[in-house]
Chains A and B, each alone.
Chain A
Amino acid sequence: MKRANLKSALTTILIACVATILINVTLTSYWVFLFTGAVVAAIALLGVGLVASRAGMISLCQMSFAAIGAWVVAWLNVKHAPGTLLLWILLGGLAAVPFGIAIGLPALRLRGINLAIVTLGFAAAFDVILLSYTFPGQTKFIFVQRPDLFSSDQAYFALCVAVFVILAIALNLLSQTPLGASWLALRHSERGTAAHGVSIPQSKLSAFALSAFISGLSGGLLAGQLGTLVAESFTLMVSMVYFVVTTMAGAHLAEGAIFGGILIIFFPEVLRRLGLPQDIGNIFFALGATQALSMGGTMAEDFRGLVRKFFKGKKIVASGFTDDVALATVVPPVVNANARPMLDIKNVTVRYGSVVALNDVSFTVPEGSVVGLIGPNGAGKSTLIDGVTGFLAAYEGSILLDGKKLDGLPAHLRARAGIRRTWQHTRIAPQLSVGEYLTLAAGRRLQTEESVALLTWMGCPGPLTTISQIDAGTRRLLDVAGVIAARPKIVLLDEPAAGLSHQESTQLAARIAQIPTRFGTSVLMVEHDMDLVRMVCNTIVVLDFGKVIAAGPTQKVLADPRVIKAYIGDPEGLVA
């Protein structure tokens, strides 16, 4: 465990211990009961938050999963199963997982809101079935037995807090793995995430299955808390309310889940004390969630922002290259004369209806070289990158990476085979930290020294910085750092210098020219900045109207009259 993680884990445990002792010692058992309810609700919200707030999907059947967990606990209790409540709760959580997978499997391969509709349908159907079959032991008046150690309300409260803390810490650690980082990333951009070699369906499904597990645990804990269960705790309406509260509170963060749990449990209490009708709660939650969605923030995120502002002051981090590069000193890498083609594009044609976006394009990127792909706007440069990296539905022709055919492979498998790309507009999820982003991009945990070295070299801030604090130009640099961290065979950079100052783009040019020798990665670069192209490219390919009109050594191609003509036709031209 890294130092920072250890520190945050210990802080969480310390806060939890103090809060538990404080509540248990100072408050009556009624309040302890309410707080237990709040923590159990917070655990359920962690499950919802994982899917809804973290991965950005809509799940409306989380309480059905909780019901499965609760049902298993009640059943094991009635059957006098071996083990105690603790084991049963765990089994209940696990029992919810296959249901989560069965529902998620068809829904999550597709884009869009299918999951919302499937989960709504599941919850509605499950409601009716649960209402008629209800929980084992309910009518026979058999109560779920707590082990002696947790028989008092205070001890059971401590148990629930412990489960919450374990889950919160585990989720925090998980968010620093490639899988965990991919959840936040796919909420921001699915394509951007797939380009890092992440299988979107697998990533979504794992989030959904894990959330089913967590919700299942919460159901089991509720069974232990109340002793007796009724189907009304787990209806579609409750699932929807939990979703709404998650949206409002931001339950992907531990403090958001606690806020939400407290809202769910204490709002009715407040209403009762004020003598107001109970149903105001749901109206309030609905308005709160709508407001949160329109502002794009949640209670927990706002809270974190305030805390950060309080301690560090709000500042935007800019790039900072540690060296100063003169333009003249940048030279393209040295390429072996008989280098094998790393990327081989053979007769690629792309049609959109009657429009031909790419027409019989062929060229190669030799190993260890930097190849520039230039051409006026609309020439088909980005289409070509999309085609190579697997983001086009179809193309004719063939693309080979290091001699292996890529055709037919989906984007994430091409990325894993060794092709990485950046985008014209950066697609980094702003909620990630720099370190988490690098982990996601590299597909593995980087050693701290390794990531710091890479970040310093690219002029990016340290791994603990949150992306949202970084200015736009620096995010572009981080884009490049990310694809390099994966050590791919080739990177495709789509206008890496767009939005950078002249000084910055010169420094970036120096880095790009070094990529092949430093990292063993070849480069194909789309760029409008001709100074940059001149500095770093061994060869250039010029596209116009989807056709290669010139290709060859940089200076020679740039002097080609056809190329000049193509550019003069374009007002942005060579000076852009």
Chain B
Amino acid sequence: MFTSTVAGLAAGGAYALIGVCLVFTYRLVSVVNFTGAAIGAVGTFAMVMLREQGIPLPICILVGLTFGTVTATLLGAVMMKWFAGAPAQTKAAVTVALLVGMIALGLRITGGQHPRPFPDLVPGAAFTLAGVVITRAALVTISLAFIFTIAATRFLNHTRMGLQLRALSERPVTAELIGIPVRRLSIGVWAMAGLATTIALMIIAPQRAPNFLTFSMLVVPAFAAALIGGFRSFWFTLAGGIALGLLEGMAAGLSSLAQFRSAVPFLIILAVLMWSQRRARWDEAR
């Protein structure tokens, strides 16, 4: 059982990293972004499709990262242009609609059934733990999640731009009035989250069933992680994501539970909400 639990580490790192990106976007531009993982999928598929044309890997990676970032930027621009003043509910609904469109378009362009030769960006094994080979990719994903968590926390609390952005998400109109370049900053947040997600997905792609739909749906466990962090705390999101991966691994190891492995994120979401609903609150918005 310990073996299979450790085996969930790689997945956990990915959930954590995407989860942290979701929290980042939510805190800074107050959008619950359902396209979070799909953005990364765009960049990852762009990379592999170029690779198939025989273009050198470093160029493919660069172009892929650019694709992911540009997609995120475009989405950010759409959100800023038409939905800047909209309530959180509406923004979330927009991203759901965009996700449906992106999946249809993504499956159309990438094709659902043939595998693509996703290159191992971080090949090889790091070490063996409890009979499980921990791949370098898993290690790198988790490290990246840590780095991004630290960076995001520091950025928000200790830089001028971070403070501006926080002000912005709380009172966009006021922020604009006191001369914060709201639009540019917001789109920058989207771009950063897009870039980080793309990196995460590129690394874990060879170990996953890489199809545009399944990639886009990685947003489900990532949301569960973000919810553990209450859409506020980066550290709890990070811990939540990794814990989620480990739990899934454990469930896969127990034959009696394996059938319900896919229900793990859902059950976590329910449990977290049960805990946090102890008392109803009124927020500022309405």
B92 touches A113 (CB 8 A): yes
Flag the segment in B9-17, B96-104, B170-178, B182-190 that touches A. B96-104
| Neighbouring A residues of B100 by C-beta, 8 Å | 237, 240-241, 244, 282, 285-286, 289
Q: How far is the CA of A280 from the CA of B104 in the complex (A)?
A: 7
A106 touches B101 (CB 8 A): no
Q: Is A190 an interface residue (CB 8 A)?
A: yes
Least CB distance, A575 to chain B, in whole angstroms: 27
Q: Is B224 an interface residue (CB 8 A)?
A: yes
Q: How far is the CA of A56 from the CA of B88 in the complex (A)?
A: 11
- Find residues 392-434 in chain A having any chain B CB closer than 8 Å to their own CB: 393, 410-411
Q: Which of A56, A114, A282 contacts B103 (CB 8 A)?
A: A282
Q: Is A58 an interface residue (CB 8 A)?
A: yes
Q: Is B205 an interface residue (CB 8 A)?
A: no
Q: Is B83 an interface residue (CB 8 A)?
A: yes
Q: How far is the CA of A398 from the CA of B132 in the complex (A)?
A: 62
A201 touches B280 (CB 8 A): yes
A110 touches B280 (CB 8 A): yes
Least CB distance, B214 to chain A, in whole angstroms: 11
Give the contact-size bracket for chain B.
35 or more
| Neighbouring A residues of B213 by C-beta, 8 Å | 237
Flag the segment in B118-126, B159-167, B270-278 that touches A. B270-278
| Neighbouring A residues of B89 by C-beta, 8 Å | 56-58, 112-113
A129 touches B259 (CB 8 A): yes
- A113-B88, A124-B220 known; A293 vs B107 contact (CB < 8 Å): no
Q: Is B223 an interface residue (CB 8 A)?
A: yes
Least CB distance, B276 to chain A, in whole angstroms: 7
Q: Which of A103, A244, A280, A290 has the most CB of B within 10 A?
A: A290
Q: Which of B105, B220, B282 has the most CB of A within 10 A?
A: B282
Q: Which of A280, A281, A393 contacts B281 (CB 8 A)?
A: A393
| Neighbouring B residues of A190 by C-beta, 8 Å | 282, 286
Q: Which of A117, A124, A290 contacts B97 (CB 8 A)?
A: A290
Q: How far is the CA of A374 from the CA of B219 in the complex (A)?
A: 51
A107 touches B281 (CB 8 A): no
User: Across the two chains, which residue of chain A brings its CB closest to B283?
Assistant: A111
- Find residues 47-102 in chain A having any chain B CB closer than 8 Å to their own CB: 52, 56-58, 60
User: Across the two chains, which residue of chain B brings its CB closest to A52?
Assistant: B93
B104 touches A279 (CB 8 A): yes
B90 touches A107 (CB 8 A): no
Q: Is A132 an interface residue (CB 8 A)?
A: yes
- A125-B265, A293-B90 known; A60 vs B220 contact (CB < 8 Å): no
Q: Is B155 an interface residue (CB 8 A)?
A: no
Q: Is A378 an interface residue (CB 8 A)?
A: no
A118 touches B270 (CB 8 A): yes
Interface string of A290-317 (1 = CB under 8 A from B): 1001100000000000000000000000
Q: Which of B92, B100, B217 has the most CB of A within 10 A?
A: B100
Q: Is A128 an interface residue (CB 8 A)?
A: yes
- A117-B227, A243-B96 known; A124 vs B266 contact (CB < 8 Å): yes
- A58-B96, A244-B96 known; A122 vs B262 contact (CB < 8 Å): no
| Neighbouring B residues of A282 by C-beta, 8 Å | 100-101, 103-104
Q: Is A22 an interface residue (CB 8 A)?
A: no
Q: Is A534 an interface residue (CB 8 A)?
A: no
| Neighbouring B residues of A118 by C-beta, 8 Å | 266, 269-270, 273
Give the contact-size bracket for chain A.
35 or more
| Neighbouring A residues of B270 by C-beta, 8 Å | 103, 106, 118, 121
Least CB distance, B17 to chain A, in whole angstroms: 18
| Neighbouring B residues of A111 by C-beta, 8 Å | 280-283
Least CB distance, B69 to chain A, in whole angstroms: 21
| Neighbouring B residues of A132 by C-beta, 8 Å | 259
User: Across the two chains, which residue of chain B brings its CB closest to A236?
Assistant: B217
Interface string of B250-269 (1 = CB under 8 A from A): 00000000011011011101
Chain B residues touching A, majority SS = helix
A189 touches B286 (CB 8 A): yes
B282 touches A391 (CB 8 A): yes
Q: Is A120 an interface residue (CB 8 A)?
A: yes
Q: Which of A57, A111, A113, A240 has the most CB of B within 10 A?
A: A113
A247 touches B97 (CB 8 A): yes
A121 touches B265 (CB 8 A): yes
B274 touches A106 (CB 8 A): yes
Q: How far is the CA of A83 from the CA of B149 in the complex (A)?
A: 59
- A124-B217, A129-B262 known; A116 vs B282 contact (CB < 8 Å): no
B260 touches A58 (CB 8 A): no
Q: Is B94 an interface residue (CB 8 A)?
A: yes
Q: How far is the CA of A122 from the CA of B220 in the complex (A)?
A: 10
B266 touches A121 (CB 8 A): yes
Q: Is B108 an interface residue (CB 8 A)?
A: yes
Q: How far is the CA of A190 from the CA of B88 in the complex (A)?
A: 14
User: Across the two chains, which residue of chain B brings its CB closest to A286?
Assistant: B101
B266 touches A286 (CB 8 A): no
- Find residues 215-247 in chain A having any chain B CB closer than 8 Å to their own CB: 236-237, 240-241, 243-244, 247
Q: Which of B86, B104, B260, B277 contacts A283 (CB 8 A)?
A: B104
Q: Which of A127, A240, A277 contacts B108 (CB 8 A)?
A: A277
Q: Which of A121, A129, A286, A293 contacts B224 (CB 8 A)?
A: A121
B108 touches A279 (CB 8 A): yes
Q: Which of A110, A189, A243 contacts B276 (CB 8 A)?
A: A110
Q: How far is the CA of A425 from the CA of B259 in the complex (A)?
A: 53
| Neighbouring B residues of A129 by C-beta, 8 Å | 259-260, 262-263
B282 touches A117 (CB 8 A): no
Q: How far is the CA of A286 from the CA of B283 in the complex (A)?
A: 30
Q: How far is the CA of A57 from the CA of B89 in the complex (A)?
A: 7
Cβ contacts A to B, 15 pairs, < 8 Å: A110-B276, A110-B281, A112-B88, A116-B92, A118-B269, A127-B262, A129-B263, A237-B213, A279-B108, A282-B103, A286-B102, A290-B101, A293-B94, A294-B94, A393-B282
The 4 closest A-B pairs by CB, nearest first: A286-B101, A121-B266, A282-B104, A289-B97
Known: A106-B274, A200-B280, A237-B100. 19 other contacts (CB 8 A): A58-B92, A106-B273, A110-B276, A110-B281, A113-B32, A116-B34, A118-B273, A121-B265, A121-B266, A124-B217, A124-B220, A124-B262, A124-B265, A129-B262, A132-B259, A190-B282, A279-B104, A285-B97, A290-B101
The interface of chain A, by Cβ under 8 A from chain B, is 52, 56-58, 60, 103, 106-107, 109-114, 116-118, 120-122, 124-125, 127-129, 132, 189-191, 200-201, 236-237, 240-241, 243-244, 247, 277, 279-283, 285-287, 289-290, 293-294, 391, 393, 410-411
